[in-house]
Each structure stands twice: as structure tokens, then as C-alpha cells.
Amino acid sequence: NRQIRLAHRPVGRPDESTWNLTEEPIPTPGDGEFVVTVDYVSLDPAMRGWLNDARSYVPPVGIGEVMRAHAVGRVLESHHPDYAVGEIVSGSFGVTEHALSDGTGVQKVDESIAPAPTWLGALGFPGLTAYFGLMDVGKLTEGDTVVISGAAGAVGSIAGQIAKAKGATVIGIAGGPEKCAWLTEELGFDAAIDYKNESVYKGLKAAAPKGIDVYFDNVGGEILDAALSRLRKGARVVLCGAISGYNATDPQPGPAHYLSLLVNRASMTGFIIFDYLDRYQEGIEALSELLTSGKMTAREQIEIGGVPAFGSTLNLLFDGANTGKLVLEVGER
């Protein structure tokens, strides 16, 4: 039973020295507990924030602790009335091959709707984040022009497809021609801007000449700034994430167009998906309907190498080397 623990808090980008690979016996469940064999671990940009000793929406991962991670696995041994051996479950099991759980935060995975890794992506936190971020925070309305950054990632690719299914014009911003082609040719985005090879400002002006109604921001920085300069009156900016600054060691220059929020009576609202706990079921149902009716595509990029490959796999997010939901395969199914 191997696991990845936090060795020390990184400055800037995490590297191999950030992590320790440890080995310990498979835990034994007590009364009201069960043990899960982990099959897939979710890699999330938020993990970078959890490494900082800073006040946030969750406490930081402690030095020496097993790295926090969402994962899917099978119940191996159970002394819990609600979880039977062999059941497939998702939860915050950590970067480990086996985890002990008392059922807190654990959800059952229905593989008749979609395979297990999809429950870490389109039907997991990224999908729910896209759904509530767009519908609730972004107040998406039919006919809106929606711009999404990080558009070829786990959250962005689902947000764009939901917006399309709800009758919006959707423009994605992503790094590289392959990702942009995936957005327009396969996911039905109306346009895609390759921020690594073209001006985002000019791309937005061309693709959304009347301006933006909803900007769903996953990246922050210069891309946010370009989008702010193109807001329409009454626009909503969904502040979902800002990955471009997660590894920054120097202070980041502030967006020069924040005052566009004021001039256009627009609002920019931060949110955390955990606030929607009592509405997850609604989100899963809406997402399942889109997935099973073929209106939405769930794409996972499943990396191999098991728990020892956690550190290098996490950095794929910061290199933009993932398309869709990045997942690490841990067990053999």
C-alpha cells in the first residue's frame, strides 16, 4: 500500500522533491469504516493551493500527510452498513493505493451511466463546477455570448458544452491548435482562440463583435484582462480559477480592465463547488442527461504509472499537457 506524502511546501512549481513515496500496510477497517482500493486519482489545479500554508476554503495539506485527492475505487473490506464489498465509490481518498473511510463525503458511482474515470471529470467536481458556475453564478441565458478560458480542460470543456446545449454562442480560449480544433470540430464551440499563438484581445473582437455576456474564467492574468475589456453591459464574470498565477513567485500585475466591471454594471463572483453540496444530485442528473443523450462528450486523459507517478502527472496540468479531465490510474481493474 503505497502513498504520496507532502515532503515540504514548494516555492513556485512543485517538483519531485515536493513529494515522498511511502509504504505502509493496508489499513484495517473498524466499526462503521471500510477500506477502498483506489483505481483512479483526480489531478486538480487546486492541489497547488492546498500545498501553501495559507488561509483558504480548506486547510492546507500538512507536511508528512498523504496528499489530498479525489479518487474512485472499489470497497475492499467493509464494516459499514451502507457500503458493501465490491461497490464503486468516489471520495477524498488521497494519493494512495488503499484508503480508510467512514463514508464522509463518499458518493456511489453508477457505472451504468458512465465509466469510473468520468465520475472524476464530467460527472464529478469539474462537471458540477462547470454546471453551477455557468447556470447559477453566470446566470446563463439563451442567446448569451459565452467565453471560457482553460476551455479544453476538465471544467472548461464541460462548461462550453453546457452553454452550447442551452443555446449560447460559445468561444473557447485554449493553448495550441489541437485543443482549439477539438473545441470547434468535436465539442461544437462556435470559435476557439489559441492564446499561445494569437492575440486573445483580437480573437475576442473577431469572434464576439458585440461583446461578452458571460466570461467563465479558469486562468486569470492577461487572458482575464483581455476578456474584461470586451464585456457587454450587464455581463457576468464567473471567477472559477486563476491557474496562470498558481505557481507564481512574484506578485502578479493586476488586470488593467477591472473597471470595466463598474462601467458595465457587471459583477464578478467567486464560488467554491462545495457550496452546492445539497444540489449535487440535481447537477448529476442534468449532466447525466446531456451525456447519455449524446449532447455532451466526456473525455478523460488517463495516465499510467500508479502512485509513484503522481508528481510528474500533476505537472501536466501546469504544462497544459492534458485535454479533458486528467486522471491517474492507480489500481488494475
Residue type for 192, please?
A
Q: Is 300 left (phi over 0), alpha (psi -120 to 50) or beta?
A: beta
Contact positions vs ligand NDP (CB under 6 A)? 44-46, 125-126, 129, 150, 152-156, 174-176, 179, 218-219, 240-244, 271-273, 317-318, 320, 322, 326
Tell me the closest approach of the beta carbon of residue 317 to ligand NDP, in angstroms: 4
Tell me the closest approach of the beta carbon of residue 296 to ligand NDP, in angstroms: 15
Tell me the closest approach of the beta carbon of residue 277 to ligand NDP, in angstroms: 12
Say if residues 22 and 34 touch (Cβ distance below 8 Å).
Answer: no
Nearer to ligand NDP, 206 or 272 (CB): 272
Tell me the closest approach of the beta carbon of residue 241 to ligand NDP, in angstroms: 2
Tell me the closest approach of the beta carbon of residue 77 to ligand NDP, in angstroms: 31
- For 212, other C-beta atoms within 10 Å of its C-beta total 26
Q: What b/e string do you get for 89-120 counting C-beta neighbours within 10 Å, with b at 16 or more?
A: bbbebbbbbbbbbebeebbebeeebbebbbbb
Please report where in the chains the cell 473557447 appears, as a residue: 172
State how far the Cα of 3 lies from the Cα of 23, in Å rounded to an integer.
6
Q: What are phi and psi of 12, to 5 degrees?
A: 75, -140
Tell me the closest approach of the beta carbon of residue 195 to ligand NDP, in angstroms: 7
Element (H, E) at 156: helix 154-165
Nearer to ligand NDP, 84 or 256 (CB): 256
